Structure 1
Amino acid sequence: MSQQLELRAIVDEELAGARLDQALAALFPDYSRSRIKEWILGECVRLDGELKVKPREKVIGGEEIVLNTVLEDVVEAQAENIDLDIVYEDDDILVINKPINMVVHPGAGNPSGTVLNALLYRYPSISEVPRAGIVHRLDKDTSGLMVVAKTLPAQTHLVEALQKREITREYEAIVTGTMTAGGLVDEPIGRHPTKRTHMAVVATGKPAVTHYRVAEKFRQHTRIRLRLESGRTHQIRVHMAHIGHALLGDQTYGRLRLPKGASEELIAAMRGFQRQALHAVMLRLAHPITGEEMEWHAAVPQDMLDIAEALRVDHKLNPDLG
């Protein structure tokens, strides 16, 4: 469902000489300048009745502003009584620790049982916020921390902070192969040219940067920490596969690689690990309303601890096998 939005204001004399987009950002602080610029370019803004105006146009003060637009993505999904692991909550935001096997947003094949359905039940007013306040997503089988905006001003500021790379997200993962040192992957990501449900490193993709460092080495696997600068779909999974270190358990971008001479116990554990070994372990941001620096941590889930311990035991029992 869409929501019609009409805003009216008179340009304050103190804004004389400012660009139109700057003036509107001051007059309507609930919306980011990038969103306001899109509205101006989309001919949604009238300045003293004039429609064809430009973001850089200077204002003199006293003009009448009329903004008419449509807010998309006002949520139509059904509210469902689903438990959420809430790490932090105030009037503006909440941070949740998403479990594995939970989809963030309804889509084809997953119309219910999602984080969004749960948010609508717990916070009915969040239906008025685009995407029910969801600022960034985690894959179904990726666990960990997510921030959600409870109000439109909070969502606007969080989206802007994410675009400016002012939100820090760190992940823990187990990858195939032995890494000798950390590094970064700076490669664009877009739709796979032939597999439309997959993402890939492609020249025409959007910029994507992933930093990683080694946390622990096993015989033929490595436990790593990663930090995202951007937030492309499947970014960590695609980037790690691109450099030859696909995530353990990734059914889409990797394949099962058993260590030489692996015990029956380890083989069973690895074959039984049916999701990518990826967990959003840390989230740091400036509160969208108060500006306070905040940081949260989520413990690595038991299934990842168990598979890491199985690889650790294997490494101790077979130190000479590569």
Structure 2
Amino acid sequence: MAEKFIVKERSKLLEFLFNHLTGWSKKTIKQRLQGSSVAVNGEINTKHDFALNIDDVVEVGVVKKASTQAQTLQKLEIIYQDKDIIAINKPAGLLSVGNTTESKQHALAILRNQLSRGKNQVKLWPVHRLDRDTSGILLFATSKEMRETVMDKWGISEKIYLAIVEGCPKEKKGTIDQPLRLDEKEYRMHVGKHPDAKPAITHYAVKQTSPERSLLEVKIETGRQHQIRAHLAWLGHSIIGDERYGTKGEKMGLHAKKLTIIHPVKKKPMSFEVDAPRDFYKLFN
């Protein structure tokens, strides 16, 4: 049964939960929020920085009903598979991995179910993650050892994205090397120098422009959380549909197009590539 709270003073949603769920760890609270177990005025809300007003009703413990296409998927598109690694094309709107809630609608669980046969349950380990609203290449390993072997060379892997942004950058090519710091209360990255900030490097190139939007190819040397989203917003060209760093929209314009890794057994470079879906390009037009 869900717990209900009445908001007495304005605050951000995550901060409100921290203050009222005193018996829970901050990690668990964030996991419940990300897992669609929190509602505001009857509507599921996963935004850490959502602004609460006086007399709003916050419920904790609700379970979101599957409604979107991504949430009701039974099969995922497998781009590559061998006995060591599996690469899939994750649709936008689907979590990469699960959390402490009971929901099984995330890429890891769906893929496990898809590959398992009867009592022969497949075990998988996520090599990395994509944000829920980012589509594209997501890599899994078939053992913890294979995952660690891939991660040992992750620093030299090539990660290329497509991004549709507001406006057009002045420079057709550029590099953003601003450090990033995670604000746990607001669950967003702050850009700029700070004792807690970590190095982050993002390269971009303008591929196409329209009067109001641009299509960029983005390559990241580091893989900080929300790196591309925060860096492009800092540049003054936030990603279309990115409510956290820009303006709310029906879909976010970010797609993981290409990933090149060192295969954990073959010890040779291996590339995976998948184009963005049609509804991604509709954001540009």
> Cα distance, 1:81 vs. partner?
8.5
Which residue of 1 is the match for residue 145 of structure 2?
A: 153
CA RMSD of aligned residues (A): 2.1
| Aligned mates of 1:114, 1:238 — CA distance in 2 | 24
Which residue of 1 is the match for residue 80 of structure 2?
A: 88
| Aligned mates of 2:157, 2:267 — CA distance in 1 | 12
> Cα distance, 1:198 vs. partner?
1.7
**From 132, 137, 155, the counterpart of 1:140:** 132
Tell me the SS of whatever aligns to 2:283. helix
Is 1:274 the equivalent of 2:250? yes
Which residue of 2 is the match for residue 218 of structure 1?
A: 210
Larger mean CA deviation between 286-295 and 105-114 belongs to 105-114
| Aligned mates of 2:197, 2:121 — CA distance in 1 | 36
Which residue of 2 is the match for residue 77 of structure 1?
A: none
Whichever residue aligns with residue 154 of structure 1, its letter is M
Which residue of 1 is the match for residue 199 of structure 2?
A: 207
| Aligned mates of 1:109, 1:242 — CA distance in 2 | 34
Which residue of 2 is the match for residue 66 of structure 1?
A: none
> Cα distance, 1:126 vs. partner?
5.1
Is 1:191 the equivalent of 2:182? yes
Query: Could you say if the C-alpha distance between residues 81 and 307 of structure 1 is closer, same or farther in structure 2, counting changes exceeding 3 Å?
Result: closer
Whichever residue aligns with residue 200 of structure 1, its letter is H
Alignment of 1:14-33 (within 5 A): none
Tell me the SS of whatever aligns to 1:112. coil
Tell me the SS of whatever aligns to 2:243. coil
> Cα distance, 1:138 vs. partner?
0.5
> Cα distance, 1:175 vs. partner?
0.7
| Aligned mates of 1:114, 1:306 — CA distance in 2 | 25
Is 1:295 the equivalent of 2:271? yes
Contact map agreement 1:283 1:297 (CA 8 A) in 2:
yes
Contact map agreement 2:164 2:283 (CA 8 A) in 1:
no
Query: Could you say if the C-alpha distance between residues 86 and 252 of structure 1 is closer, same or farther in structure 2, counting changes exceeding 3 Å?
Result: same
Structure 1 segments unaligned to the other structure (5+ residues) = 1-79, 257-272, 311-322
Is 1:179 the equivalent of 2:179? no
Greater share of helix residues, 1 or 2?
A: 1
Query: Could you say if the C-alpha distance between residues 249 and 81 of structure 1 is closer, same or farther in structure 2, counting changes exceeding 3 Å?
Result: closer
Cα deviations across residues 87-146 of structure 1 (Å, max 9, x unaligned)? 00000001100001110111366832001212332256654xxxx410111011100001
> Cα distance, 1:196 vs. partner?
2.7
Whichever residue aligns with residue 157 of structure 1, its letter is T
Which residue of 2 is the match for residue 170 of structure 1?
A: 160
Greater share of strand residues, 1 or 2?
A: 2
| Aligned mates of 2:98, 2:144 — CA distance in 1 | 20
* Paired residues, number: 207
What percent identity do the matched residue pairs reach? 31
TM (norm. structure 2) is 0.67
Which residue of 1 is the match for residue 223 of structure 2?
A: 231
Contact map agreement 2:175 2:201 (CA 8 A) in 1:
yes
Contact map agreement 1:126 1:151 (CA 8 A) in 2:
no
**From 98, 102, 109, the counterpart of 1:106:** 98
Whichever residue aligns with residue 83 of structure 1, its letter is K
Query: Could you say if the C-alpha distance between residues 201 and 114 of structure 1 is closer, same or farther in structure 2, counting changes exceeding 3 Å?
Result: same
TM (norm. structure 1) is 0.60
Query: Could you say if the C-alpha distance between residues 175 and 150 of structure 1 is closer, same or farther in structure 2, counting changes exceeding 3 Å?
Result: same
Contact map agreement 1:103 1:114 (CA 8 A) in 2:
yes
Structure of higher CA gyration radius: 1
Contact map agreement 2:164 2:254 (CA 8 A) in 1:
yes
Whichever residue aligns with residue 297 of structure 1, its letter is E
Whichever residue aligns with residue 278 of structure 1, its letter is L
Whichever residue aligns with residue 148 of structure 1, its letter is F
| Aligned mates of 2:160, 2:102 — CA distance in 1 | 27
| Aligned mates of 1:120, 1:95 — CA distance in 2 | 13
